Amino acid sequence: MANIRLSPPVKQEKAPEQGISTPAESAEGTPSRKWVIVTKDFTALGWAYQLMLDGEEVYVAVRYSEEDDTKHRDKMKRTGQGWIPVLDMDEAMKTLQSPETYWVFGENIFPEDAEALIEAGQKVWPGNPALSEEMEHDRDYATDVAEESGLQPPDTHEFNDKDEAISFLEAHPDKAYVMKINDNKFNYQTFVPVRKEDPDANESLLVYLKNMEDDPEEFILQERVKIEDSLEVNVEFWYYEGEVILASLGLEVKRKDTYDLGEMCGCGGDFMQFIPVDSPLVHKTIEKMHPFYKAKKYTGFADVNVIFTKDGTPHFLEVCNRFGYNSHPNMFLALGKDTFGNIMADYIDGKVEDLADRFDYENIGCSLTLFIDHPRQGLPIHIDSMYERQYFPFDGYKPTGEELVMTGYSDEIGILLGKGKGIEDAWKNVSEAVAFDEAVSFPDIKYRWDLAEDNYYNAPILRLKGLKNRGLLP
């Protein structure tokens, strides 16, 4: 375990080492613009929170009908009350359109609405909403694009019949497979066998398929690459009309608990770093897909998740092409030199000549997701004012207009961000802020305590060292 300081550190009046941006105002004051943050499940709530802190006019737009469970829908409707204005998407479309409005889709959702807004002359992010949505949610399409670009996935087989998958596994008893359900509602539904030997792992998935409660409608079986033999990374380009603006590297952990235990989640934490667009890592990964995005004149984020095997081959896993779970809060709130609103407004408006210069290339950003096992309405959430520009919330409302409390809708409450000269330094800043400074605090808080350790296979620090040892990064 990391060394834990037993007494809290002396607080400073400000924390410049954490990379906090202060609101950038013109001579006339804050620009007269307004924002609509569109989200399906409030995973983009943090963008609205940051804009609100900067004094900008901001609304959150959701479609409550997307939540099938009426009990959860009631909790969903509490989110933002007394804190951040929330409208139904249809109402937002009718009332918030204007030449000064920026529509930011926090996930790849509602592409028809996004296209309609573009047709109406609105400022919309991403610039190619239908393509972004298809690349994330149509696994076959994204895989075909990757393969045509020269990125091969591990051996992959598609199924829409559980019995056929069982027969397939029985016919290949010496191979281990991961099961990924298309558009699974919950991250934990991805089945990653934990048995080390391939025949044992095959048997584990067989037992699960034979006895699972609900049959998956569409899913894939993808040959497992042993974690001790692999190196998984995410590399991303930012595009404007098919031209590359910058590149970044992401190293995330996808399980909830320390030492990579527990269920899969969106992201337990990550480290982000801006990297040269001409680095060997870029050449071997996202650059291979550049001709595709250039031909589409794509505007938006374009990432590729790959797993390097021992022979140095990067195998394609998936793309996201949206505001990633922790990666983009990490980029903007830990490594941004300006406010989210100022950077995004210029990006959407095409003022991208100096966009790369508005981020910190000297440091590494760190994110840490804050969980609760059993969400309950009314539990208080404390955000220290010194750290509010490092916090990205997923949940919360103010029933009296004063105290911030949980709605009970989400077990992921928010993300705390920070930065440092390396992984260890960045992790020290973030972990000590939450553990000792009460940067963000709530009852039964849960988070990982191992992001900078090197004693588990998937440790980010081991992966970063692996990339450098292979000559993929300087």
Residues 226-258 as b/e (b if ≥16 CB within 10 A, e otherwise) read ebeebbbbbbbbbbbebebbbbbbbbbbbbbbb
194 in a structural domain: yes
Q: Which domain holds residue 183?
A: 155-224
Each residue of 104-148: pLDDT tens digit?
999 999 999 999 999 999 999 999 999 999 999 888 899 999 999
270 in a structural domain: yes
For residue 20, the model assigns a pLDDT of 39
332 plus 300 within the same structural domain:
yes
For residue 268, the model assigns a pLDDT of 96
227: Cβ contacts below 8 Å, ≥ 6 apart: 457, 458
Q: What's the whole-number mean pLDDT along residues 26-45?
A: 81
Task: Return the HEC string of 319-371.
Answer: CCCCCCCCHHHHHHHHCECCCHHHHHHHHHHCCCCCHHHHECCCCEEEEEEEE
110 plus 189 within the same structural domain:
no
164 plus 302 within the same structural domain:
no
- Residues of the chain with pLDDT > 90, as a percent, come to 79
DSSP string, 52-73: HHTT-EEEEEE-GGG---HHHH
DSSP, collapsed to helix, strand or coil, labels residue 246 as strand
> Which CATH number fits the domain that encloses residue 117?
3.40.50.720
Q: Which two tokens stand for residue 353?
A: 């000549």
254 plus 331 within the same structural domain:
yes
Q: What's the whole-number mean pLDDT along residues 183-211?
A: 84
71 plus 160 within the same structural domain:
no
185 in a structural domain: yes
Q: What's the whole-number mean pLDDT along residues 315-333?
A: 94
For residue 465, the model assigns a pLDDT of 96
211 plus 119 within the same structural domain:
no
For residue 139, the model assigns a pLDDT of 83
**Residue where a domain terminates, one of 224, 239, 268:** 224
For residue 217, the model assigns a pLDDT of 79
pLDDT band at 9 (very low <50, low <70, confident <90, very high): very low
Q: Are 291 and 145 in contact (CB under 8 A)?
A: no
Domain tally, the chain: 3
219 plus 182 within the same structural domain:
yes
Q: Which two tokens stand for residue 213?
A: 């409660």
- Check pLDDT > 70 for residue 60: yes
119 plus 232 within the same structural domain:
no
13 in a structural domain: no
Q: What's the whole-number mean pLDDT along residues 154-171?
A: 91
355 plus 413 within the same structural domain:
yes
Each residue of 24-35: pLDDT tens digit?
443 344 558 999
- Check pLDDT > 70 for residue 11: no
For residue 30, the model assigns a pLDDT of 52
**H or E element in which residue 249 lies:** strand 243-257
147: Cβ contacts below 8 Å, ≥ 6 apart: 153, 316
Each residue of 347-379: pLDDT tens digit?
999 999 999 999 999 999 999 999 999 999 999
Each residue of 75-100: pLDDT tens digit?
999 999 999 999 999 999 999 999 99
Report the distance separating Cα 437 and Cα 310, nearest Å: 42
- Check pLDDT > 60 for residue 440: yes
